[in-house]
Amino acid sequence: MTTRLEEKIRSGSFAVTTELTPPKGIDVSELLARADALKGYADAINLTESPRARMAVEPTAVARLLIERGLEPIVQVTARDRNRIAIQADLLGAALLGVGNFLFMTGDNPRNGDHPDAKGVFDLTTLEMLRAARGLREGRDLAGNELKGAPSSFLGATANPCAADMAFELENTRRKIDAGAQFFQTQAIYDTEYLARFLETAKLGNIGMLAGVIPLKSARMAAWLNSNVPGIRVPQPLIDEMEQAGPEGEAEKGIEIAARIVREIRQLCAGVHIMAIGWEAKIPEILSASGLR
């Protein structure tokens, strides 16, 4: 069965995704409230898998709760904690629960998380996970054994159009496509010229690229992103705009800038991935200001 996200990308309609982080514990009421508020705005919602190696409730269980509420999840899958047997088993189990969208990434090293003594597994690379998932979709496991019933999955990966080594990033993106990636979500983009150049060179064809946007809450946040997050480049003119808005106007200016970037992205690729980082309630306002919703 084709997911709504896949249908939207294949049809050429502009897709909107966002992400939520499952909690450390089983009280998901706040997450579900935020998800419900995004109905009609987000086409699908990423559920992260213990980001920054900080233990949180497993995302497939939360994904099932979203499906029951009429929302479409994207389950993030990392190589950090499981070997190839467990990863494939979990993908099949998620498919049984109705999950159709998956996003694959390596995952953060446990030594930087809240369980630093945990042993990282990293049995498979991102490319190998994509190949494994594609194989399951085609009816066989990674060892070549035939499945009794194959899942229908829409497979995603990450990309960074603003990477310092653009040649390597383009090559890595192509390898991910060859391994089975059908859509990408990117690192946050603040200068869409980088995105345009990346897309022109990559020539993705029917592969959906969802460009990332992190709304800026302050000039200080913008400077922090530049200093601490590889692959993010907030141009100085945007920082100047935030500073000129002053403390009382920074939030409004951040929403205005995010909406402007969404408008520019809309002319370039298949969709936008808004990483609101606690500002999920602002997403409808951003989309409205961009003219998208």
- CATH number of the domain residue 162 falls in: 3.20.20.220
25 assigned to some structural domain: yes
220 assigned to some structural domain: no
Closest CA to 14 of 289, 287, 196, 249: 287
231 assigned to some structural domain: no
222 assigned to some structural domain: no
Q: Specify the pLDDT at position 292.
A: 85
Residue keyed to tokens 């069965």: 1
Buried b (16+ CB within 10 A) or exposed e, 76-115: bbbbbbbebeebbebbbebbeebbbbbbbbebbebeebee
**Number of domains the chain contains:** 1
pTM of the model: 0.96
Q: Which residues 6+ apart lie within 8 Å of 243 measured at CB?
A: 219
256 assigned to some structural domain: no
28 assigned to some structural domain: yes
Residue 227 has phi, psi (to 5 degrees) of: -85, -25
**Chunked mean pLDDT (size 10), the chain, 293 residues:** 94 97 98 97 98 97 98 98 98 98 96 96 98 98 98 97 94 97 98 96 93 97 93 94 94 97 96 96 96 83
Q: Specify the pLDDT at position 7.
A: 97
> What is the domain extent for residue 86?
4-215+270-290
Q: Specify the pLDDT at position 293.
A: 73
Q: Specify the pLDDT at position 17.
A: 98
CB 281 within 8 A of CB 34: yes
239 assigned to some structural domain: no
241 assigned to some structural domain: no
